[in-house]
Every structure is written in structure tokens, then in C-alpha cells.
Structure 1
């Protein structure tokens, strides 16, 4: 009997680990689809629906085996068979989903201008909630005893998730109008955000503490930070940047279906984005860079220096709490570049082809970098584009922005 329990327990543990590992694959497939230009809801809905359906098939198979009495609960191999019944449909689903995603051709549609969609997400959200309420009421009235509890629980979990997603999409669609209204009330020069588009979903640090949280010492504060959800670079810094410095702006990814949460984005056509970049650099009081390696980095740094704005550049490295962040970024398929990879990409000599004339030219940004400044650092450059480390070991958004604000004040009032 002990051996039976041991085998079943081991099967359950291994099965849980395998299912948890397989749950990462749909997120990575979604990231892969985004990189190929599929940022709308179609691929997302396909992945969620298909994988969930096949998981339900696996659960039904397990329940069927138990119900028909193929195995007894005391059977040594019941755990192995149940885990296999769950895993096989899930593996088949994810293999077929991977084939579909990798077979998708890369999209070339990269429109400029504000993002808008034809799907009435707000209406669909309210419709889903109304339908859920109506079905719940019917089950309560027509059900006997507590027979309605389990169906209602599953109903609210599934349709509630759908409604939440619809309202989330609607909120993103309304974001440009809210940003425009707020920008009209703020006369301060903007702050610019420069990054590779593949870095936008990269987790940067745990979300900062709320206004009600009180400091309780380094150990308890570190423990509290480990429990808070992770935030991207924009989500982590935006409230403080816009409160202290000014409105935060940046160019948007032309393949975006809807604007992501965070800064206000300006969407330019491929043939115009370089001019838009120059214009934004010229009017910005500061330029925040998330270190990474991407194709246009050298041109962007070269252009910033050409416009004599290198002293207004601030490269920020993530705070020291990196382990949980790195695990989640790996699970989502988001690559984090080291400082050395960023430096290698920034100091490389690249060949750029002029869109109009087709003439190729060699380009080098000519910045002088020092060693890795470590976690929680703010790095800027002097008038000759040499690296200057302003601060290290920073742990909060307020500290980052305070250092940047002090440097900008020095540049304005030398």
C-alpha cells in the first residue's frame, strides 16, 4: 500500500511540474506571433480556446477512466495513467498550435496614425456580464438544492474572464483620447522613451509600493517587494516621471493592434519615423533608454548625438531584485540583454541604406562606455559622449527620477 501511495504521489508531482512547464508554451507562442506582426485578438483567442479545449478533453478522459472502473483507486498505476491522459491532449494541442504559429507569414502591414478597431469591446463586455447574470438567475431559480453552485462557479470563471478581457481591450482603445486630453493640460516639455519594440513587454521590477505602505526595514520591505506583481519599464516609472518631470512620449510599434499601457505613443509610417524621432528628440527635456540590443540602436544614438542631446540621455538598469523578474521574462519569451550586449550593440559599426537613394553608408555612434554600472543605476553622458554614472543601487522609481531631475536642473542652470 505504501508503494502504491508513493508511486501515485510521485506521478502527481511530476505531472504538476510537466503541466506547469507546458503552460509556458502558449505565452511563448503568443510572443512569437507578436514578433511576426500578429498583435490582434485572433491568435490570442485561438491559443486560449484551443489549449483550454484540449485540456478539457484530458480532464474528461481522466474522469471517464475513473467512472467506468478501468482502474481502482488502489491501483499502483492509476496516477501514471491519469497524468498521461491529461498530458497527451495538452502536448498534441501545443504541438499543433506551434505548427500554426510558426507557419504564419510575417505581416507587412505597418500603418501609421492613431489605433482604432471595429470590434465593440465595451458592448461585448456588458453583453457577456448580462448573459452571465441571466444564466445564473435561471440556474438558481430552476436548480434544486445546491446543484446550481458548481455550474455557476464555472460560468462566472469563464464568462467573467471574457468580460474582463473585453473591458481591458476597450480601456486600451480609449487610451489615446485620455492621453490627448491630459497632454493639453501639461505645458512642460516631454520626456522621451527610447527602446527596442521587443522590450516593451519585458518586466523591469516589482511594482512600487502604494501610498498606504509604510517602510518596515530592509528585510520586510524586500519580502513585500517579492510579493508585488511585476511591472514593465513604463508601468514602473510612468507615474513618477509624469508627476515630477513632464509628459512621457515615444514612438509606437507600427504593428500594434491597440496602444499598450504606459506612455503616450505616436505611430509613424516607416518612411517618416526617422523624422518623427528627430522632432521628438529636439523638443524633449530628457531621454530615457532601456538598455537592449536592437537594429536601430546605433542610428538612434547617432541622431541624438548629432542633435547635441547626449547629455540629456539617461540609461536605467533594473533594481537588484532580478531572479523572479528573469523567470517571468523567460516564461514569456522576452529576452533580457546584459549591459555588455547593450554596449556591443551601441558601439558597433552598422551599414544603413537610404530609403530614397538606396545608397549604403557606414555609421558609428561614437559613444564611450565604461564598465557595467550594476543594478539600479542611472547612466548619462558628458558633452563628448563619455559615460557618466550618476547613481547606483537605486530601489524605487522616486530615486531614479530624483537623480534624473537633479541632472536636468544642472544642465539648465550650470
Structure 2
């Protein structure tokens, strides 16, 4: 397995281009199943997760062509013929979000057999809401031997669906299925993440009829078919936020480009409160901090969008490890999402965890040590801490990192970080 080594102490100065959003791209890829015409996605990230889903789409018969376009990386999807509606466990287990192919397959072909996604290291993320919503759209669903078999031979039909709580995955999945359902579907208590808005707008460009985009009530009037389209994936707000925190941690001045400052307002507000200088630009944001001035401890609580993102909690905890005072971090979205805390403690951080709350008492300095990544966001928090830890920090199991960060070593290295990848061998999964 690969690892990443960071020599702490270097300031960051320069520019970092932000990639397209992983969490948007993988749902937009699933949308390619819904049409027999080409869908071209530009500003596409090249990540382990997009590769996994590309393999799955090819199994269904979708032609997937990665290429360089006028505006950077792009991928063309051609699903003129769906030859299979079976999604095996070996592919689905590699990325939970690939379960979201069930709805589009069902909507387009009337049947599908998709593996349940399996466990998750950051807590329970059941698919009950997904299956309940598809049932309300008229699908007949059976669970057998770890697979979901779904049938809708006469097509899906519109329904009113009120989610018991806000769920990003269930909102996206139901939206993907409902655009081809007969009649009107109303989704209440829908999630409002920017990636859902991106998916909805792409579907509208493909001919879908969706009202209430960016609100908690989506009204979808089904159409008989969708056409192709060209769509640019929105910037990745989690990558943007992670590099913003990295710049604040190391000190210096970093310009994040191909980005949107409004997507990380809940984070940058807290960073300003801690003592970081933030300046929005036309195509992103500038992060600036004098490393001789210690940051102040700030409390945060994760919430659904537009609140503080759970996917930025680990990174912010790393930032607080050397802040002056005690910060309290409440995790309200996922259980078990403090697994990075013991690894940060190996670097000298003072963190106590009880249930969904972590107290971080800032220390004067961190010290390099070997640490282990437990999930995608935890892994980048360890890299961020390593930027200021005295000596060398080695982060193991970085295949987690590769799921969501494109060319991380190259981007940080271009701004002055002393960072390198150590190639390993063997099965990473």
C-alpha cells in the first residue's frame, strides 16, 4: 500500500486549482444511464471513485471515454444500449454511492439487480430510505442474498415522498428515478447540498422538469425520455475547504482557483473567527495567515447544508490542534467519525472524545510520527497536521485519500510543501 510522507515546517505560498466535485460527478455519471444519447461531463475529476463507477457503467453497456478537452478533463458517456442491469458486489462494495445506479436502471429499463453496498467505517448509512422511496414510486423490491431485486415493468409513477430526515443520498437517488416516472413526484425534506443542485440542473439540461432546485421541496414532473447534454461539474467544496485549512495550518498565502467561495462559507466564517484572513476572488478565494500568530480555538457543530459540513470536520479538528485554547467539535451527522482523533494524538494533539463530542486543547507544537488513515476525510486531516509537525509524518493507507483528492502531493508541493508518495505493493482493499 502507498503512503505519503510530509516534512513539517514549510509555509504554503502559491495557487491551487480545485478539481470538479467528486460527490457531484459520481451522481452525474449515474444520470448517463437515463438517456440513450451522449452525456458529456466537463471539469471531471480523475479519482478512484470515478474509475470504480466507470467500470460499473461499462458493465451495463455504457461507453465511457475519458479525454482532455478545451476546459480540462472531460468524460463522454454513451448509453445508447443498456445490455445488463446487474451490479455485482465486487464493484458496488468499492464505493457506496454506486448503489445509486439502482434508480436510473429501474427508471430506464423497468428492472435491476444491485448489490447492497455493505458496511461503512464512519457509521451506519442504511439504504432503507432509498428503497422506501423507490417503493413509493411503484417499484416492487425484494432483498435476497445481499442483493436488491427491483421491478417496475410498467414504469415508475409519481408520488409524494416526505423523508423522515434529511438524506443527501436518498434525495439524489429518488431524483434520478423520478425524472422518468409517470406523473408528478414531490420530494419533501429534501437535502439542499450544492451537489444536488448541480445534478438537478444537469437533468434539466437533459430535458427533465424539476422545480424547487436548492430548496427542501423538489417537484418533478416525469418525462418519457431524456436527451443528451454537455455539463460542467461544480468545483469540489470539500477539496476547496481542505486546501483552505491546509493553507491556514501551514501559514503563508494560497490562492484557490477554479473555485467558488460561497460553497464553503460555513467553514471560512469559522476560520476568520479563528484568525485566518480570507479574501474572495472572481474565481475562488485567497487564504492568508501569519504563522507567527497563533490561531484562536473555535467551536463548531456539523449540520446539513448550508451548515458546517461533516466532510470538513476532521480537517478543522487538525487546524484546532495547535490553536490557543479549547475548541469543542460536535459531530451531528455520522457516528464513529472521530477515528482520526487517536491518530492526531500520535502527533501530539490533545483530544478527548465522548460520544458525538470532541474537545481539542491546543498544543504549542505537533511532532511527526507514523499514522494510519481510516477514511477519506480523516486521511487528509493527517496530511494537514503533518504540514506543521516537527520532523516527518508518514500517513499510511492513503488509498482512502485517492478516492477523493486528485494529485494532492503535486498541488501541495507546488506551494512549497515537502511531501512525497512512497509506493507500496499488495492489495489496497
TM-score, normalisation: structure 1: 0.20
- The higher-RCO structure (CA 8 Å, 6+ apart) is 2
Structure ranking higher in strand proportion: 2
Structure index of larger Rg: 1
Structure ranking higher in helix proportion: 1
TM-score, normalisation: structure 2: 0.20
